[in-house]
Chain A
Amino acid sequence: KAGVTQTPRYLIKTRGQQVTLSCSPISGHRSVSWYQQTPGQGLQFLFEYFSETQRNKGNFPGRFSGRQFSNSRSEMNVSTLELGDSALYLCASSPVLGYEQYFGPGTRLTVT
């Protein structure tokens, strides 16, 4: 099976812009979670989706949002970008909730 894929892999944006990141889970996986990874804060949970419903949300401002489509693919959006949003954004998928999660390679976002 193909692994979790994320696009784009690298992105450079300017403060104030918005960005949309995409995640395609492993075939058959219905749960997708998003994490932000920075050197200072480590790996932090953003949100998770299962069957197109957001099941849980981390402690991030409302500028961070996401959605899941009927084919389990997911997108996350960050509006009004700030310099501190520069990070590696990771997507993970699992067959159902409470099961092993497998991460994609991430999208490296740089905000200038």
Chain B
Amino acid sequence: QQQVKQSPQSLIVQKGGIPIINCAYENTAFDYFPWYQQFPGKGPALLIAIRPDVSEKKEGRFTISFNKSAKQFSLHIMDSQPGDSATYFCAASIGGATNKLIFGTGTLLAVQP
């Protein structure tokens, strides 16, 4: 119940395409869902996060779609660029009294020029 399942494991898109990364969870107590971007040799960088009271959130070219009834959320990257090539992690936590994040397994994204 503590797992967050992430797919696909890897993804290749052309520049300008819209990669979509999906995550699913079981624990309905999760109420905070961030996405992190990680480049080789670096720590994960917070991209965007959502709470279950909204179905969509946009920040720049990054959009989270959230489906509470299906217990799924996804990341869309609009107008993807080669510089977006990185590993993306979804995560979930039970907010309030803890910062413990349960991470997905990661998606390696390659954006080809």
Whether A100 touches B34, Cβ cut-off 8 Å, given contacts A43-B103, A56-B98, is yes
Do residues B101 and A101 form an inter-chain contact, with CB atoms below 8 A?
Answer: yes
Question: Which B residues are within 8 Å of any A CB, using their own CB?
Answer: 32, 34, 36, 41-46, 49, 89, 91, 93, 95-106
For chain A, give the interface size range. 20 to 34
CB-contacts of A86-112 with B (<8 A) = 90, 92, 94, 97-106
For the residues of B in contact with A, the DSSP-based class is loop
CA distance A35 to B89 in the complex (A): 14
Encode contact with B along A43-57: 1 for CB under 8 Å, 0 otherwise. Answer: 111001000000110
Partner of A55 from the list B36, B98, B101 (CB cut-off 8 Å) is: B98
CB of A42 within 8 Å of the partner chain: yes
Contact status of A106 and B98, CB under 8 A, knowing A42-B105, A43-B89: no
Of all chain B residues, the one with the shortest Cβ separation from A104 is: B43
Q: Give the chain A neighbours of B97 by CB distance below 8 A.
A: 55, 97-98
Bound state CA distance, A79 and B93, in angstroms? 29
Give Cα A94–Cα B98 distance, bound, in whole angstroms.
Answer: 11
Q: Are B99's CB and A101's CB within 8 A?
A: yes
A48 touches B98 (CB 8 A): yes
In the complex, chain A residues whose CB is within 8 Å of the CB of B49: 100
With a cutoff of 8 Å between Cβ atoms, the chain B residues found around residue A90 in the complex are 43-44
Which residues of B lie under 8 Å from residue A24 when comparing CB positions? none
Specify which of B32, B36, B45, B101 lies most central, judged by the most chain A CB atoms within 10 Å of its CB: B101
Q: CA A104 – CA B44 in complex, angstroms?
A: 8
Known: A97-B96, A98-B95. A103 touches B101 (CB 8 A): no
CA distance A31 to B99 in the complex (A): 8
Contacts of A55 on B, CB cut-off 8 Å?
A: 97-98
Shortest C-beta distance, B47 to chain A (Å), equals 11
Q: Lowest 7 CB-CB distances: which A-B pairs, in order? A: A103-B43, A43-B103, A98-B95, A98-B96, A105-B43, A103-B44, A45-B100
